[in-house]
A and B are shown apart, each in its own frame.
Chain A
C-alpha cells in the first residue's frame, strides 16, 4: 500500500514536542523581526548591499563596476545596449561582438581587467539600480528601470571623484541630490533610496578589503588541533601577520589567514569527521578572480572527469568555490573569497 511518496513522507514525521517550544521560538523570532522593521525607516547602504545580489548601473564612475564585481555582485549596465560585467585577470585575446575590455584603473588597481559582455536582455529581477545621473532624469529612470525590474533599492551615487579623475561630463555638485519626484515615487512604492555615499566605497566597507589579495593566487591551508596555538606560534616565531580570523565562541577557528612578506597561508581547526578538513589535512587554495571565473574553472575540471569532492557552493562567510582531489588525493580548493565582517559577526551570533 505504500508508494514512494508515502515513504518519503514517513521519513519525516514531526518528532518535536512543539507545544512547549514553538510559541517561545516564534515570539523570539518575531521580536527580532520587529526590531528589523523598526529600524527600516532608515535603510543604510550596508543593509542594501547585504541583501542584494544583482545591481544595474545607469552611468557610473569607473571604480563602481570593478568594486561591485570584485565583491561578487552580478553587475549589469545599460548604455546603448545591455551588458554584464566580468572581472578577469588577463585581457581576453578575443572579444565577442559588442564586448569591451577595460584595463586596470592604475598601477595599484589589482582587480584585473573589466570585461563588459553584451547581453540580449537584463535579468527579470534586479535588486538595486545604481544611478549616476542628474536629478532631472531620475524620475524617468525610476519609471523605466527600477519599477519594471521590481528593484527594491535605488542608489544615487555621490558626486565627487575619489581617485581624482576628471569628471566625465558633469560637475559632482549636480549629482548629490535626489530629485523630489524620484524620491516620492520610490517612497510610495516602498523602494529604499540610498544617497550621499558611493556604492564603491560602501561595497569595500561591507565586504572588507578582500581578505585574500588577488595576487595571492596560490596559498596552502593547514589543519591544526589547536589553531590558536598555531597562530601564536606563527606570529611570534616567524613573524606572520594575522589578517583574517573567523571563529566560534568556543575557539574553533573556521578560517584564519596569515601573511608573511606578501605570501599567504590559511589555517583552521581540524575537524575529525570532516572529509575535507580532517586531521593532518593540508590543501591548497587557488584564488580565482571572480565568481564567473570559479564557475568556468569548475566546468573545465568537471568536463575532464576530475574527482570533485565539493561542488561549487557559497559558504555563509562568503567563500564561493569548489574542491577537487587530485591523482594522489591532495585537495585543491578553488574559489573566490568574499569574507566580510558581518558574516563573522553573524557566525558568532548563530553559535551563541
Chain B
C-alpha cells in the first residue's frame, strides 16, 4: 500500500486526531532546523512545539488540494517568528561573528575566495537586517530552506509573482550593499573598497 500523502493524513486526522503525529514525524526535523537557524538552538524547541500545537488545532483548515504540509507549517512558523523580530538582528550578527571566527572550512584553491566571503559576512548580516521583514523572510526561505517559489507563496500566502519580486528585490539590495557586480556576472567579489 502506498504511503499516505500529507493531505491524506491531515484529512484523516480530523476524525482521528492521533493520525496527526505522522505530520510531526515527517516534518518535525525540518522545522527544528529552520527555527534553529532563525532563533538559535536554545529557543528552537519552544517554537517547534508551538508550531505543531497551532497546526494541530487548525488541522481542519488545511487545504487538502496541496499534497505537502511543509509550506503550510513554514507559514505558521513565519508568523510566529514575526512576533520575535526584535531578536533577529542580534541573531544574524552573532551568526556572522561565529562564521568569521571559525574561519573558512579547509578547502583547496577556493580558500582565497572563501576568505573574501568570510570577510563579507558581517556585512551580509547587516544587509539582511536592513531588508524589509517580508523580503527577508522570503529570501531566507529561499536561501536557507531551499523552498521553491510556489511553496514559498503557499507558506506566506502570497502570489508567486510577489515571491519572485521580493527575492529579486532582496538579492539586488544585497548585491548593491555588498558591492557585488550586478546581474549574472559573479566572477569578482567585493571590488576596490578595501
Contact = CB atoms under 8 A, between A and B. Distances in A.
Given A14-B33, A190-B15, A1 B113 contact: yes
Contact of B15 (A7, A22, A34, A188): A188
Given A151-B61, A189-B14, A190-B14, A4 B171 contact: yes
B109 to A, nearest CB: 10
A214 to B, nearest CB: 24
Contacts of B99: 10-11, 13
Interface string A1-25: 1111111111111111000011001
A40 interface: yes
Nearest to A1: B113
Contacts of B24: 29-30, 33
A36 B142 CA distance: 32
Contacts of A165: none
Contact of A6 (B14, B25, B60, B117): B117
Contacts of A125: 61
Contact of B117 (A2, A22, A51): A2
Contacts of A8: 124, 128, 139-140, 143-144, 174
A5 B128 CA distance: 11
Is the interface on chain B under 10, 10 to 19, 20 to 34, or 35 or more residues? 35 or more
Instruction: Determine which residue in B52, B61, B92, B178 has the highest number of CB atoms from chain A within 10 A of its CB, and name it.
Output: B61
A125 B62 CA distance: 11
Given A11-B92, A30-B28, A2 B189 contact: yes
Instruction: Determine which residue in A7, A13, A152 has the highest number of CB atoms from chain B within 10 A of its CB, and name it.
Output: A7
A47 interface: yes
B155 to A, nearest CB: 15
B164 interface: no
Is the interface on chain A under 10, 10 to 19, 20 to 34, or 35 or more residues? 35 or more
Nearest to A190: B14
A270 to B, nearest CB: 17
Interface stretch (B1-9, B43-51, B66-74): B43-51
Contacts of A9: 143-144
Interface string A172-191: 00000000000000011111
A118 interface: no
Interface string A322-342: 000000000000000000000
Contacts of A7: 117, 120-121, 124, 174, 178
A37 B124 contact: no
A314 B86 CA distance: 11
A350 interface: yes
Contacts of A22: 29, 32
A107 interface: no
A313 B21 contact: no
A34 B52 CA distance: 10
Contacts of B61: 125, 150-152
B21 A12 contact: no
Nearest to B173: A4
A4 B85 contact: no
A33 B144 contact: no
Interface in A110-156: 125, 127, 150-152
Nearest to A26: B28
A9 B141 CA distance: 11
A316 interface: yes
Interface string B93-120: 0011011001000000010010011101
Contacts of A150: 60-61, 63
A11 B96 contact: yes
Interface in A24-53: 25-26, 28-30, 32-34, 36-37, 40-41, 47, 51
Contacts of B98: 15
Nearest to B140: A8
Contacts of A187: 15
A138 B154 CA distance: 32
B181 to A, nearest CB: 10
B113 A5 contact: no
A208 B158 CA distance: 35
A104 B25 CA distance: 51
A28 B92 contact: no
A310 interface: yes
A37 B12 CA distance: 14
A342 to B, nearest CB: 12
27 contacts: A1-B110, A2-B189, A3-B180, A4-B171, A4-B174, A5-B143, A7-B117, A12-B95, A14-B36, A16-B41, A22-B29, A25-B45, A25-B48, A29-B52, A30-B25, A33-B52, A33-B56, A34-B21, A40-B56, A47-B57, A51-B58, A125-B61, A152-B57, A189-B14, A190-B14, A190-B15, A190-B60
Interface of B: 13-15, 17-18, 20-21, 24-25, 28-29, 32-33, 36-37, 41, 44-46, 48-49, 52-54, 56-61, 63, 83, 85-86, 92, 95-96, 98-99, 102, 110, 113, 116-118, 120-121, 124-125, 128, 139-140, 142-144, 171, 174-175, 178, 180, 186-187, 189
